[in-house]
């Protein structure tokens, strides 16, 4: 039987979440820091641990069938791969930032200015689209210190909390792209049954993460008011309680409007609300 290969980051910001996602998909594998390849014992899959920069090309060239990597790296390496699934972690944005004592307020003022970055391809396309001609200086790291050293007038780098920019006296000036970790596959791999099976497992884990399982008690006379607030996977389950007029309602609600929903439910007469994490939702 065919064995798939999935490439994930060996160490760094995406490693832990990538391993966690695959483990939550029920895949059994060892995660030794020293290993470069780890077989999965209960699915025809091998995990390759690589530098993130190498992952897009490995997938494009078929050395790995699948990969988990930031969209920023995929776009910078300009590979031909299929985007299979956004994964909701590793979120950041690629921004142009300038020193906070700088007078640059409009994009056109970047004409003729030096911008240091590790993302020359993405930045080059962005500036070309805006008809701006800057001097793009490609450096391999610590981009944020280059204006202070007099090496550039601006930088273009990834930002998540903004702390690095701030502590280097820089302010974000323009959003070039937003990025998150994605599952990519070799072109056409989406038609493979095993790949489909894995995508479905990943989707069931992601869906579960976005929702909470809620059990609550309500008096029958308030049931309609309470169920009107509950979406459920289809509709909520209603279970009679031993005590006469009361029922227990079981349902799932989206994590994002969780606290709003809970207070609305209480107002509508819900009591004894128990909220639990969900492991998987298989539709
Ligand atoms: O060793 P390897 O080559 O595999 O890893 P790497 O060092 O190239 O990448 P790594 O582990 O730093 O990041 C992997 C991926 O995480 C990136 O390609 C992005 O898709 C994603 N990601 C999410 C980030 C950030 N957030 C991020 N904040 N990657 C880098 N940063 C850096 C940024 O470059 C800057 O130096 O963090 C600093 C800014 O962070 P804040 O929080 O101060 O804004
Ligand atoms: Zn890297």
CA angle (184 as vertex; 181, 186 as ends), nearest 5: 160
By alpha-carbon position, which residue is closest to atom 34 of ligand 1? 158
Contact 276, 213 (CB under 8 A): yes
Q: Is the CB of 17 under 6 A from ligand 1?
A: no
CA dist list (Å): 272 to 106, 217, 219, 262, 276: 55, 6, 12, 11, 13
Q: Are strands 154-159 and 114-117 parallel, antiparallel or unpaired?
A: parallel
By alpha-carbon position, which residue is closest to atom 13 of ligand 1? 13
By alpha-carbon position, which residue is closest to atom 42 of ligand 1? 161
Please give the pLDDT value at position 252. Answer: 87
The pLDDT tens digits of the residues spanning 37-88 come to 999 999 999 999 999 999 999 999 999 999 999 999 999 999 999 999 999 9
Q: Is the CB of 172 under 6 A from ligand 1?
A: no
pTM for the full model?
Answer: 0.90
| Ligand 2 centroid distance, CA of 52 (Å) | 5
Euclidean distance between CA atoms 41 and 197, whole angstroms = 16
Section 99-119 average pLDDT? 94
Most confident by average pLDDT, 175-179, 205-209, 222-226, 252-256: 175-179
Ligand nearest to the CA of 9: 1
| Ligand 1 centroid distance, CA of 13 (Å) | 6
Q: Are strands 92-99 and 170-179 parallel, antiparallel or unpaired?
A: antiparallel
| Ligand 2 centroid distance, CA of 13 (Å) | 10
Q: Is the CB of 16 under 6 A from ligand 1?
A: no
Atom of ligand 1 nearest to the CA of 143: 36
CA angle (123 as vertex; 88, 15 as ends), nearest 5: 30
The pLDDT tens digits of the residues spanning 145-164 come to 999 999 999 999 999 999 99
| Ligand 1 centroid distance, CA of 42 (Å) | 32
Euclidean distance between CA atoms 15 and 181, whole angstroms = 11
Please give the pLDDT value at position 232. Answer: 61
Section 246-252 average pLDDT? 93
Please give the pLDDT value at position 233. Answer: 57
By alpha-carbon position, which residue is closest to atom 33 of ligand 1? 158
Q: Is the CB of 53 under 6 A from ligand 1?
A: yes
Section 129-140 average pLDDT? 97
Instruction: Note the maximum CA span of the chain.
Output: 78
Higher pLDDT, 255 or 152: 152
DSSP structure string for the chain:
---EEEEEESSSTTHHHHHHHHHHTT------TT-SEEE-TTSSEEEEEE-GGGHHHHHHTTSSSEEEEEHHHHHHHT--EEEEEE-S-S-EEEEEEEETT----SGGGGTT-EEEES-HHHHHHHHHHTT---EEEE-SS-GGGTTTTTS-SEEEEEESSSHHHHHTTEEEEEEEEEE-EEEEEETTGGG-HHHHHHHHHHHHHHHHHTEEEEEEEEEGGGHHHHHTT---SSS-EEEE-SSTTEEEEEEEEEGGGHHHHHHHHHHTT-EEEEEEE-S----
**Terminal CA-CA length for the chain:** 27
Q: Is the CB of 260 under 6 A from ligand 1?
A: no
Atom of ligand 1 nearest to the CA of 52: 4
| Ligand 2 centroid distance, CA of 85 (Å) | 21
Which domains are assigned to the chain?
A: 4-89+181-208 (3.40.190.10), 92-179 (3.40.190.10), 211-277 (3.30.70.120)
Q: In this prediction, what percent of the chain has a pLDDT beyond 70? A: 99
By alpha-carbon position, which residue is closest to atom 7 of ligand 1? 12
The pLDDT tens digits of the residues spanning 24-39 come to 999 999 987 787 999 9
Average of per-residue pLDDT values in the chain:
94
């Amino acid at each position: 039987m065919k064995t798939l290969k999935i490439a994930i980051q060996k160490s760094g910001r995406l490693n832990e979440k990538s391993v966690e996602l695959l483990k939550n998909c029920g895949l059994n594998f060892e995660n030794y820091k020293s290993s470069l390849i780890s077989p999965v014992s209960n699915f025809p899959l091998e995990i390759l641990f690589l530098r993130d920069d190498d992952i897009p090309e490995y997938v494009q060239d078929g050395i790995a069938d699948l990969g988990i990597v930031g969209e920023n790296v995929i776009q910078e390496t300009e590979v031909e791969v299929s985007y299979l699934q956004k994964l909701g972690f590793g979120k950041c944005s690629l921004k142009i930032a300038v020193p906070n004592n700088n007078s640059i307020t409009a994009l056109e003022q970047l004409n003729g200015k030096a911008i240091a970055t590790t993302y020359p391809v993405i930045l080059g396309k962005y500036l070309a689209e805006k008809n701006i001609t800057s001097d793009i200086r490609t450096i391999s790291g610590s981009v944020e210190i280059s204006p202070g050293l007099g090496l550039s007038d601006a930088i273009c780098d990834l930002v998540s909390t903004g702390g690095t920019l701030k502590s280097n006296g820089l302010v974000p000036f323009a959003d070039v792209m937003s990025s998150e970790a994605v599952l990519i596959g070799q072109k056409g791999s989406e038609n493979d049954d095993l790949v489909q099976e894995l995508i479905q497992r990943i989707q069931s884990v992601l869906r579960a993460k976005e929702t909470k399982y809620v059990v609550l008690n309500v008096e029958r006379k308030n049931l309609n008011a309470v169920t009107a607030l509950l979406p459920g996977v289809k509709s909520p389950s209603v279970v009679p309680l031993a005590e006469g007029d009361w029922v227990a309602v079981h349902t799932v609600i989206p994590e994002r409007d969780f606290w709003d929903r809970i207070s609305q439910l209480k107002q509508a007469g819900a009591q004894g609300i128990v909220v639990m994490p969900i492991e998987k939702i298989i539709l």
